[in-house]
Amino acid sequence: MNQLRQPNVNISQSVAILIDGNNIERSIHTETGDKQTMLNFDTLVPKLLDNRGLNRLVYFREGHTISAKLKERLHSNFHGSVRPCHKSADIPLTIKATQLASKVDTIIIMSGDSDYIELVRHLRGEGVRVEIAAVSSTTSNQLRSEADHFYEISSDDWFTLQPKKPSYPSSKNYS
């Protein structure tokens, strides 16, 4: 019997991942009930890319206090950047997405916020594939239906920091 050979397909799509940090953090904290829960970018980003090339990764975060550890990790692992936002991430993320539309094949927006519906429509009209990655329970159904693909961020994609245990001096008696 002659077996059909699967053709070797080379995927050469360029992807930008734009993260509404405050929205994703709030969603995860709502889902878990624990503010010490954080995204595991080391496993999540490769899942989202699914053998496609990463062009940009930008984490937008409202406020001036952004973890230096997060900045360093995103930069060293993904050449990503963290952008502080004056108020919400909606406008800066939207501007960056429209700037990147002619440079990438796919834009993944990590947010379930319905404020991005018009952006998704615009990007798709420009011929860009738009994917949403968010916590299902906090994602707008309309946003989900406007996107080309929805990736559910679940407990497999986050971890909870354990509180540091205080270190006490040893009570051993050396006499």
Domain spans, the chain: 14-57+87-160
Task: Confirm if 99 and 126 have CB atoms less than 8 A apart.
Answer: no
Q: What is the pLDDT of residues 111-137, one digit of tens each?
A: 999 999 999 999 999 999 999 999 999
Q: What is the pLDDT of residues 69-112, one digit of tens each?
A: 889 999 999 999 999 988 889 999 999 999 999 999 999 999 99
Could you tell me which CATH class the domain 14-57+87-160 is placed in?
A: alpha beta
pTM of the model: 0.86
pLDDT above 70: residue 3: no
Q: What is the pLDDT of residues 142-174, one digit of tens each?
A: 999 999 999 999 999 999 987 766 666 555 555
Question: Would you give the DSSP letter of residue 89?
Answer: S
